[in-house]
Structure 1
């Protein structure tokens, strides 16, 4: 998750926010196997805030983490080495299923590939023709 902040010279710079992910079992093993630094992923899960007191300084600390239920790669990676994401019962990608998803193609730079979104029919409504035009009809 990145945030744009002023750089003091009249321009903007990207400032990353890092969020801890907690993944258990086989999903975690596959995530660690296929994920590399700078790789974009989509995750679905629950937010959990952990709080504790730092034993060295005595200050109260907290962090936000995501307990991952499902995940999928969001973009390409250099060299065209595309791995598959092991998820839960659903896949984020249109036409995916069985919790197994993969992307085709290669050589894209980080951040250039946009994730595909399911049609409205996947949410129990009627399809409006699909694709990006259907995003205008999403009720939220």
Structure 2
């Protein structure tokens, strides 16, 4: 069996290193597909609720209007405890919502949010009338 000289062993290990190092560099850097996927994440209205309960029936009205308007809407119930991480999350969602709302202005018009809130108020009023009638019928 032929013994490798010191220089042959050196060049052999260097050539292996030249193959392995680029593989490590490539595998340790985020690829373009992942970067693009993060940038093109669909915009969505993130409605975070911290330390509050919504009015009775409010979610029904919101869900109905979201479905009617083909809006992307995600409700996040964060519970009653308000802490720094929740406040930070809320600020991040507010920024994301601003971007989404601006895109909706282009699609639905400048006053889409006022129309949404007006329709929600109407639905909420109708819901309260229904609730009051149910209460009245129970009291008879």
* TM-score using structure 2 length: 0.21
Higher RCO (CA-CA < 8 Å; seq separation 6+): 2
Higher helix fraction: Structure 1 or Structure 2?
Answer: 2
Higher strand fraction: Structure 1 or Structure 2?
Answer: 1
Which of the two has higher C-alpha Rg? 2
* TM-score using structure 1 length: 0.21
